[in-house]
Chain A
Amino acid sequence: MATTIQPPETESKEPRLDDGNSGGGGLRNLGPTDGNLKVLDDFSPEPSRTGVWVGLAAITMSFAALTSALIVRQSTANDWHHLTIPSIVFFNTVVLLASSVALEIARRRIAEFARGKNPNRTTPLVWLTVTLLLGFVFVAGQYVAWRQLRAEGLYLASNPNSSFFYVLTAIHALHVLGGLAGLIRVTYILRRPVLSLRRSTMDATSYYWHFMGILWVYVLLVIWIKL
């Protein structure tokens, strides 16, 4: 009988609680932070931080699927007409990348503020607002790009190139709008008299936003080279 049994892992004198880097206790999801700044310094992994990476993996996979669809569609097509990308998308690219820089500045200021190094809460708010404005300018710019294509007579169903252009840019723009909603939420929390912004919320939002920039550069390269 005894031969089939694995010995319990209890050789040490003290019962082992933590084993390596996992199972450290699920304290992190519990309770709102009631304005205590110390929690902002908590570096243990939080669900929102893991969650945003997992979400980004799914988004990456969706865009990979769309890219492979584009390649397969192109390889079988006899109706592939190259389209000239509206020049405003290059301006939009600069705007989106600039918004990422602004957000990074805001994020670092908030971290300093949370550590008590800098009592100024206005500076990060200003940078966050700049990020938000640039984000909206990007979405508006994309809308202008769609209008320009329509003016050229290129609609969603005109040819496969325009179809993929609209699909890729529209899905990306939808994700950007999601990011803007997150940024608005962070700004709103930061404006409260008692600060209850978790560091992980800030980080998750900014990872997502930076990823939107990277994703846009990828989408731009795809539509530039392929379409």
Chain B
Amino acid sequence: MSDGAVQAVPTTADVVHHHQPPQGFIRKYVFSLDHKVIGKQYYALALVAVFTGMVLSWLMRIHLVWPNWPIPGLGLLSKAGAPGGVMTPEYYLSLLTMHGTLMVFFVLTNAPFAAFGNYFLPIQIGAEDMAFPRFNMMSFWTTFLAFCILIAAFFVGDGPPIAGWTSYAPLSAVGADAGPGQGFGQTLWGLSIFVFCIASLLGSLNFIATTLDLRTKGMTLSRMPICTWAWFITSCIALLAFAVLLPACLLLILDRVAGTSFFIPAGLVISDRLQPHSGGSPLLWQHLFWFFGHPEVYIAILPAMGIVSHILINSMRRPLLSHRVIIYCMMGIGFLSYMVWGHHMFVSGMNPFSSLMFSFPTLVITIPATIMTLIWLGSLYGSRLRITAASLFALGFVSMFVSGGVSGFFLAQPSIDIYLHATYFVVGHFHMVMGVAAIFGVFAGTYFWFPKMTGHMMNESLGKLHFWLTFIGTYCIFMPFHYLGLAGNVRRYSAFVDDFLVPLIPVHRFITIAALCTGAAQLIFLYNLIHSRFRGAPAPDNPWECTSLEWIMPSPPPFDNFGGKHVVVYHDPYQYGVKSSTGDYLMQNSPEQVEA
């Protein structure tokens, strides 16, 4: 067969389906069944949540270093929590709880997984929509309901809960005696997460069924792009993880409102009141929560890994050293993620042998993560990388993942963790490896897919500026956290008045200034996003010369994705560096046969 010969074979199979796009605003944009609209809705919700969460972190950072400075407007949000704009220590904890909950559930779960997954998973496998479009719509609106319930906690009685995003019992279970916000606010928290679990289960079910059943002709499992694999594996993790958090939240709510004693021990005296409970186990909550909580870390990071791999391959113009090993590593991480939850509980009172049993898989899980990193770096070595905002953020992801991951080796060992556990070291660790790394994945995905999603190009110069400010700023914020932790700086304190903490205040001041600047740099992103949406240069169908199926359709894609036809797939996902009629790449649906 000669080079570049085009055969007379169909690129799309016979017309199989035709249906009308929905008419009317409500059906089209609000209660839409279209996975693309739902993906954008998830993205918008995550955007609102991330800016809310970021403002909360600003308020906390400002309070930490200028504790007596009245923050304008804060007094209006909560008269009791921040009289005259100066927040009480309890209100600091409220903000901390809401920041963590918003970021973990409504940003890190929603943006890389639900938003991009919804938009691109069906397209990348050549499907017309998700397997269950109605479930899909329900899952978004249920998530939205969960978001509203959580935000409502700001405006009820004594404000949002103070138990942290992990809501450790018995503090979270006993009710108003445990402090301001632990009344109705904490109940709302439990309800919100309960509802969120239902939404995530519906979403995961949809992702799994779609990937297994709706792949188009020729789209075998091995021909799925890495990000499709990542979303699929993530949905398997999420299905089992949220199925555990759901009953856990139910039991927590029952302890709070129905007087049961699942998590509350006997003889507990809080606020000088003997709690009317008996025999419950506070550790039980931690076990149930972290059995969800640790896989949740991978629910946030795996989609980002997939997105970043996809973008790096495209920018390098050659495949990764191994496509399969990356996928096996992601599966390995998914599997191991269920065996390590106890490492969050080393200081909670655990049998030392159990600690060892959890420490070992925690160290083992670094192996697939390391292999993936080495594959990225090895593939990058000697490649002529196209520097775009997307590829910069993908590189930034690798950097954050490594920098944040290395501290995980220390924390995985119980003896070291006992010292570091309740310090800023852990805060620095998880913000880098889970929080910021996943956010970098989302930024990379946004710069990469924005042209497809909106039909407009984003401004590359602003994107690169945004990258450098964010990249440097992030290191300025989170690297000193590790130093603070090693110096013994305890987490969750709202003021540093102890003798050993006072000398660390200048470091905190530096972090606060860095956080304010880095946060402000995100306004560049927001401006770029909104401005490009309306004024950006029109996007061609395939601006990045990428090979996967989303790039064969117009930007933005039509309502029915492939015009009611079935795409036929002939190739592995990453045919780069070949000589074809289109250039150095070959689309997955191209029937062209080429030699390397």
Chain A interface residues toward B at CB < 8 A: 1-2, 4-10, 15-20, 22-31, 45-47, 50-51, 54-55, 57-59, 61-62, 64-66, 68-69, 72-73, 76-80, 156-157, 159-160, 163, 167, 171
Given A26-B127, A46-B213, A50-B208, A1–B577 Cβ distance below 8 Å? yes
Task: Tell me, rounded to whole Å, the shortest Cβ–Cβ distance linking B589 to chain A.
Answer: 10
30 residue pairs of the A-B complex, CB under 8 angstroms, read A5-B319, A6-B596, A7-B596, A8-B594, A10-B570, A15-B7, A15-B570, A17-B568, A22-B220, A23-B215, A23-B217, A25-B215, A25-B217, A26-B215, A28-B213, A29-B127, A30-B128, A31-B16, A47-B214, A50-B208, A54-B205, A61-B244, A65-B288, A72-B283, A73-B280, A156-B258, A156-B259, A159-B278, A160-B260, A163-B260
Q: Report chain B residues within 8 Å CB of A157.
A: 258-261
Q: Is the CB of B261 within 8 A of A9?
A: no
Q: Is the CB of A30 within 8 A of B319?
A: no
Distance of A50 Cα from B214 Cα, bound (Å): 11
Given contact pairs A22-B219, A25-B216, A26-B127, enumerate 7 new A-B contacts (beta carbons under 8 Å): A5-B576, A8-B571, A15-B593, A27-B16, A51-B131, A76-B279, A80-B279
Q: Is the CB of A171 within 8 A of B247?
A: yes
Q: Is the CB of B213 within 8 A of A45?
A: yes
Kindly report which residue of chain A lies nearest to residue B246, judged by CB atoms. A62
Given A15-B591, A16-B218, A23-B220, A65–B248 Cβ distance below 8 Å? yes
Distance of A15 Cα from B1 Cα, bound (Å): 12
Q: Report chain B residues within 8 Å CB of A26.
A: 125-128, 213-216, 566
Q: Is the CB of B214 within 8 A of A6?
A: no
Interface centre among A1, A47, A68 (most CB of B within 10 A): A47
Q: Is the CB of B247 within 8 A of A69?
A: yes
Q: Report chain B residues within 8 Å CB of A4.
A: 318-319, 577
B214-236 near A? 1/0 per residue, CB < 8 Å: 11111111110000000000000
Q: Report chain B residues within 8 Å CB of A6.
A: 319, 323, 572, 596
Given A5-B319, A73-B284, A18–B205 Cβ distance below 8 Å? no
Interface centre among B9, B215, B218, B254 (most CB of A within 10 A): B218
Distance of A27 Cα from B213 Cα, bound (Å): 9
Interface centre among A23, A26, A159 (most CB of B within 10 A): A26
Q: Report chain B residues within 8 Å CB of A9.
A: 571-572
Given A5-B319, A27-B566, A65–B243 Cβ distance below 8 Å? yes
At the interface, yes or no: B262 with Cβ under 8 Å from chain A?
Answer: yes
Chain B interface residues toward A at CB < 8 A: 7, 9, 13, 16-17, 125-129, 131-132, 201, 204-206, 208-210, 212-223, 239-240, 242-244, 246-248, 250-251, 254, 258-262, 266, 278-281, 283-284, 287-288, 291, 318-319, 323, 566, 568-572, 575-578, 586, 591, 593-596
Q: Is the CB of A8 within 8 A of B128?
A: no
Distance of A2 Cα from B579 Cα, bound (Å): 10
Q: Report chain B residues within 8 Å CB of A31.
A: 16-17
Task: Tell me, rounded to whole Å, the shortest Cβ–Cβ distance linking A29 to chain B.
Answer: 6
Q: Is the CB of A23 within 8 A of B593?
A: no
Distance of A69 Cα from B245 Cα, bound (Å): 12
Q: Is the CB of B9 within 8 A of A15?
A: yes
Distance of A210 Cα from B223 Cα, bound (Å): 36
Given A17-B568, A47-B214, A79-B279, A66–B247 Cβ distance below 8 Å? yes
Distance of A194 Cα from B219 Cα, bound (Å): 35
Q: Is the CB of B266 within 8 A of A7?
A: no
Q: Is the CB of A58 within 8 A of B240?
A: yes
Q: Is the CB of B240 within 8 A of A22?
A: no
Kindly report which residue of chain A lies nearest to residue B129, judged by CB atoms. A29
B239 in complex: contacting residue of A20, A25, A54, A77, CB < 8 Å: A54
B244 in complex: contacting residue of A62, A78, A159, CB < 8 Å: A62
Distance of A159 Cα from B266 Cα, bound (Å): 12
Kindly report which residue of chain A lies nearest to residue B122, judged by CB atoms. A26
Q: Is the CB of A2 within 8 A of B128?
A: no
Distance of A27 Cα from B214 Cα, bound (Å): 8
Q: Report chain A residues within 8 Å CB of B259.
A: 156-157
Distance of A15 Cα from B266 Cα, bound (Å): 70
Task: Tell me, rounded to whole Å, the shortest Cβ–Cβ distance linking A164 to chain B.
Answer: 9
Task: Tell me, rounded to whole Å, the shortest Cβ–Cβ distance linking B282 to chain A.
Answer: 9
Distance of A160 Cα from B314 Cα, bound (Å): 57
Distance of A68 Cα from B262 Cα, bound (Å): 12
Distance of A153 Cα from B342 Cα, bound (Å): 39
Given A24-B217, A61-B243, A69-B288, A30–B209 Cβ distance below 8 Å? no
Task: Tell me, rounded to whole Å, the shortest Cβ–Cβ distance linking A192 to chain B.
Answer: 20
Distance of A74 Cα from B262 Cα, bound (Å): 10
